[in-house]
Amino acid sequence: MIARAAFPFTPSAPLRLWPVLALLAAGAAQAAAPAVDGARAERIAQGAGCFGCHQIDPRPTDEDEDDDQSAATTPAARPPIAPAWRNVATKYRHDGGALERLTRAVLGGSNPYDPHWKYQVTGLAMPANRIAISEDDARLVVRWILSLDDAD
């Protein structure tokens, strides 16, 4: 009943409308997964304070030390506070539930008793960020994180 009421056409609508409806449905499906506006996502992350703990690129490892530029300008590799977002992308890229799960973690914080980055980061857990970021913005930022290329 409810579904019928919400549907804009009754079953008696002329059959020639169905191709139009099919096109509208296809458009809606595309709108559900828009290309990520990376610049906007990065601005939101900046404003929400994510970069107080995270970086986009992982710190150089020991092997990169001969790489003159990075060795000269960055401190010796220490574990970061929080995972670099390219590493997050690598870990969850093919995980269909990651977008929603990570959005929840960003808003509500991570579980300190079940860390996903144990021994790789110095932060024990991520605090809840929902004071700093809306749910829509959190989802946008996570979608962008998951779209990042792997680290070199």
Chain contacts with ligand HEC (rule: CB under 6 A): 45, 48-50, 52-54, 81-83, 88, 102, 105-106, 110, 115-117, 121, 123, 125-127, 129, 132-133, 141-142, 145
Alpha-carbon distances of 111 from 55, 96, 102, 103, 149, rounded to whole Å: 21, 20, 12, 14, 26
C-alpha 62/C-alpha 78 separation (Å) is: 10
70/120 with CB nearer ligand HEC: 120
- Token duo for residue 8: 């804009």
Would you say 67 or 100 has its CB closer to ligand HEC?
Answer: 100
Residue 139: its H or E element: helix 135-147
In this complex, which beta carbon is closest to ligand HEC, that of residue 70 or of residue 116?
Answer: 116
58 secondary structure, DSSP code: P
Of 65 and 108, which CB lies nearer to ligand HEC in the complex structure? 108
Q: Helices 135-147 & 98-108, crossing angle to 10 degrees?
A: 130
| Residue 38 Cβ vs ligand HEC, minimum distance, rounded to whole Å | 13
Minimum gap (Å) between residue 35 Cβ and ligand HEC: 19
Angle at 141 between CA 111 and CA 125, to 5 degrees: 20
Considering the complex, state which of residue 8 and residue 113 has its C-beta at the smaller distance from ligand HEC: 113
Least distance between ligand HEC and beta carbon 34 (Å):
18
- The one-letter amino acid code at 77 reads A
Q: Which residue is nearest to ligand HEC (CB)?
A: 123
Min dist. Cβ of residue 96 to ligand HEC (A): 15
